[in-house]
Amino acid sequence: MRSRSKPLLLDDQVAKSKTRRPRDPAQPNLPFDEMPARIEPALALLKSKAPSGPDWTFEVKFDGYRLAVHIEPGGVRILTRGGHDWTHRFPSIADEAKKLGVGSAILDGEAVVLDKTGRSDFGALQRSLGGRGGKRVSGESVFFAFDLLYFDGHLLTNTELSVRRHLLSDFLDGSTGAIQLSEEVDGDGEKILESACIHGLEGIIAKHRDSKYRSGRTGDWLKIKCVQSESFVVIGYEESSVARGGIGSLLLAGARRHLPEADPR
């Protein structure tokens, strides 16, 4: 049995979200949609404060590689955020996907390596892949699925998040293998963030439960970190007027973090 992720909250702090819209067995059959070769991922917008209100649900912010797992009758493909095929780099996740018992699906989630306490460790994930630019395969990675974009011939991107999560939990709830369900909780956003920080997690992701799946940073998904930080570049300095050889002030410029296209995050 693989490790489970560190819980976002203790069970007595907040209840796990429950399905708000049960499936209707009398719903008519819908026409089949062709499976997309790739769906540009939805991204979380960085915020300093967690949202509040019943329209939001929360998950752990993992520190790993964003992946899409495509399950088709002919096999499994694992695509990075930039669209690179890394199926061969995550063999345990690919093998687990074949055992899920679904005809076709696209799972959106994140591959991580967990430490002994259940926290995601990005350094350990990189080492398992041979470091930046490495070519090794990662046998200890766990894929935490947090969304379902396509299922049994139906494209779900125009369906509410609450319904997509319901379908996803149907076949992943209780899974402890190389593919697991990302925990989702309801409650006060600031209290959930506080609990996440106490647990030593990186932060939380807030998602609007009625939102459709929209690519890019639309504001439907928000990320709130426990440590608020920014990167700056030193472009100049002024000598100290009181300490010989010292620095009195620095001139800084904001720097946007750039990740190569091959980096799946």
Which residues are marked as active site?
61
Strand ranges across the sheet with 184-185 = 45-46, 221-225, 203-208, 56-60, 184-185
Please give the Cα distance from 156 to 63 (Å, whole number). Answer: 26
Q: Which of 111, 81, 118, 119 is nearest to 94 (CA)?
A: 111
CA distances to 23, 86, 236 from 154, rounded to whole Å, are 15, 24, 56
Most distant pair of Cα atoms in the chain: their distance: 82
CA neighbours closer than 13 Å in the CB half-sphere of residue 123: 1
